[in-house]
A = this chain, B = another copy of it.
Amino acid sequence: MTNTQSEVQTVNTPAVLVDIDIARRNIARFQAYADQHCLNVRPHIKTHKLPAIGEMQLSAGAVGITCQKVSEAEAMVAGSPHILDVFISYNILGSEKLERLAALARKVKLSVVADNITVIEGLSAAFASEPSALRVLVECNTGADRCGVSTPKDAAALAQQIAKAPGLVFGGLMTYPPIDSGTAVECFMTCARTLIEAEGIEVPVISSGGTPSMMNAAEAAVTTEYRPGTYVYNDRSLVMRGVCAWEDCALTVLATVVSVPAPNRAIIDAGSKTLTSDLLGLEGYGHILGRDDILLDQLSEEHGRLVSNGAIGLKVGDKLRIVPNHACVVTNMVDMVHVVEFQKPIVAWPVSARGKIV
């Protein structure tokens, strides 16, 4: 990729571009690894929010998809007749969400998580009179300190609660681990599984996730299923970690230089409304392809500021492609993405599951 592709440059800016040939290659690469290690793949669609890419992941061999909220799952299911198995990796609470969850479960195979008894009670009340039981996995904290029970013993206790709750069936164990935590996942999950099986309860799925460590997913041999998200597009944070190269980044932001107010400063028409303020520990808000010497040092909502040590060598009207720090959050900013195949823009896709927060 360079900054001189004339056809791509005809797109009105700022725009989010998806190089679909690169995304296809990224999907195939991890699927091959997973197939080799007998791991099921259940991609997290938060990165693309597009039914069409969900279908590409299923065609490649994924067993289903992962969503984070009920509304996101609704949008994905509505957008594709091929999305028939959905895991919502979130504690779901509240009558409106539970009603929508039950309606969704009448259409597709559905599973969710719980890390506390309040969530289990709510799910059970909503599913007790439904035609099919809801699969509920126990979320486990293996070091990320977000959601999840803290110990294998707590996981086993919740598994028992789920197993005996009307309308529910115990679906297994799930974690969103910190990076490079294969050993922690292996220890926690093996122990929890042993405790649960000792109670006569089967553990059908042990689900882990995260793109940075995905090519080592098999190190935690207890894992049966993996949920990578960002791998489909990759981003600057993953390049900086050494997980991929710029050539593997399928999502870029196309921007136009709107002002060159000083010899070493230029302003582009992409700001935090496109690139977002996510830093992920990095300096600057994105990488200008082909211009390692430029720092994107400041964002307003509609302005991005580029600075260089020497003359910046840009003129008003120039177009640049930027790899954002974090692909997933950029997807969520825009109503549509421009699909590019082998450097040619071919179609614009509405981002069906954008902004689905409930």
Contact = CB atoms under 8 A, between A and B. Distances in A.
A302 B277 CA distance: 16
Interface in A29-70: 46, 68-69
B355 A333 contact: yes
Given A90-B258, A119-B316, A259-B91, A302 B357 contact: yes
A15 B332 CA distance: 16
A109 interface: no
A145 B306 CA distance: 11
A94 interface: yes
Q: How many copies does the complex hold?
A: 2
B96 A317 contact: no
Interface of A: 12-15, 46, 68-69, 90-91, 93-94, 96-97, 115-116, 118-119, 141, 145-150, 256, 258-262, 265, 267, 269-270, 272-274, 276-279, 298, 300-303, 305, 315-317, 328-329, 332-335, 355, 357-358
Contact of A277 (B141, B262, B270, B279): B279
Given A118-B317, A256-B93, A258-B119, A358 B12 contact: yes
A302 B12 contact: no
Given A93-B317, A303-B147, A115 B357 contact: no
Nearest to A300: B146
A356 to B, nearest CB: 9
A258 B147 contact: yes
Contacts of A328: 301
A12 B94 contact: yes
B355 A118 contact: no
B261 A148 contact: yes
B329 A355 contact: no
